[in-house]
Amino acid sequence: MKVETARLTQHVMTVEGRTTGEPVLFVHGNVSSSAFWRDAMAALPDGFRPLAADLRGFGETDPEPIDATRGLRDFSDDLAELIETMALPPVHLVGWSMGGGVVLQLLRDRPALVRSVTLVNPVSPYGFGGTHDAAGTLTHPDGAGSGAGAANPDFVARLQAGDRSAESPTSPLSVLRSAYVKTPPVPDEDVYLDSMLTTRVGDTAYPGDSATSPHWPGVAPGKYGVLNALAPTHFRLDDLHEIDPRPPILWIRGADDVIVSDTSLFDLAHLGTLGVVPGSPGTPGQPMIAQTRSVLDRYGRYREVVIDDCGHSPHLEHPERFHRLLADHVKEA
């Protein structure tokens, strides 16, 4: 269904016949859409109302520009307005990858709207790239190594062209098979590829506008678009532990994730230490897991579950266990 708010018109996926109960709002990650939540939504127990929103620039939601200087707040403010427009009671939030950062931003800004949070392989509370310790310290003041300039240009071009092949390791299908999951294929792979290909590409969408830096690797965050919104100069959550109320958080992650990791294969600094990106002065990679744990340790009310033999998408790779964990968490909240 489409929900028109003052900010934009949002597409919200629902489950037929599930129109009452405690709302559970699923939030997808980067280069995806609400379609990635289809099975998890259907598996929710009775008494819960599944909803999944397409973020701006993805799926069928309006492709409004993303002001990256606000971090992920364009996305989280859209969701807050969606909750209020639909007159929902406090919601259970489920956020995957970038969506994990979006729901944490919503929790930080509007805690009264939130009943519980489930994080699924979430982006670090200190963004993606450009930091080097558990405290999220910037490696360089301009955020060098993060932002739109860190995107693989061939992947961006293939995404924009709607490439459905697996002829290149940088095609969307190849990235789905090699990074989104550990052991491909997953059932209904075409559904998820279709979802990835709904991503709007451009300077105000994915990946965003790029900027140069005098520091290795020569790129810094711009002002617009998805990857710049994830840059640590724009997105960081140092004070999550100060909010009130503090609903319970469940953190689920795959042990073998290559995207969100302390040794991420998508982090230019880590790739530099491996020699994949030349010229590295020894800049350490971003310890993403350690950063999330540090922030949640201060928050206090959380549980971490690590799923073995699992990559970036526990809800696709180990659906039965994921469904049980989520159901237990929302029932107990």
Res 326: pLDDT: 98
- The answer to whether the beta carbons of residues 251 and 303 sit under 8 Å apart is yes
Bridge partners, residue 220, by sequence: 211
The pLDDT tens digits for 180-190 are: 999 999 999 99
List the domain boundaries for the chain: 2-142+237-332
**Could you say which architecture CATH assigns to the domain 2-142+237-332?**
3-Layer(aba) Sandwich (3.40)
Res 264: pLDDT: 98
The pLDDT tens digits for 193-241 are: 999 999 999 999 999 999 999 999 999 999 999 999 999 999 999 999 9
pTM above 0.75, yes or no: yes
Rounded Cα distance, 186 and 178, in Å = 11
Rounded Cα distance, 93 and 135, in Å = 25
**For the stretch 192-222, what's the b/e string if a residue is b when 16 or more beta carbons lie within 10 angstroms of its beta carbon?**
bbebbbbbbbbbbbbbbbbbebebbbebbbb
Q: What is the sign of the dihedral through the CA atoms of 155, 141, 124 and 54? A: negative
- Residue for token pair 């995957």: 96
Work out the mean pLDDT of the chain and round it to a whole number.
Answer: 98
Res 49: pLDDT: 98
Res 78: pLDDT: 98
The pLDDT tens digits for 170-180 are: 999 999 999 99
Rounded Cα distance, 121 and 305, in Å = 10
Q: How confident is the model at residue 279 (pLDDT cuts 50, 70, 90)?
A: very high
The pLDDT tens digits for 13-48 are: 999 999 999 999 999 999 999 999 999 999 999 999
The CA–CA distances, whole Å, from 6 to 14, 77, 84, 99, 106 equal 21, 11, 11, 22, 18
The pLDDT tens digits for 89-146 are: 999 999 999 999 999 999 999 999 999 999 999 999 999 999 999 999 999 999 999 9
Burial of 85 (0-12, 13-18, 19+ CB in 10 A): middle
Both structure tokens of 7: 């900010």
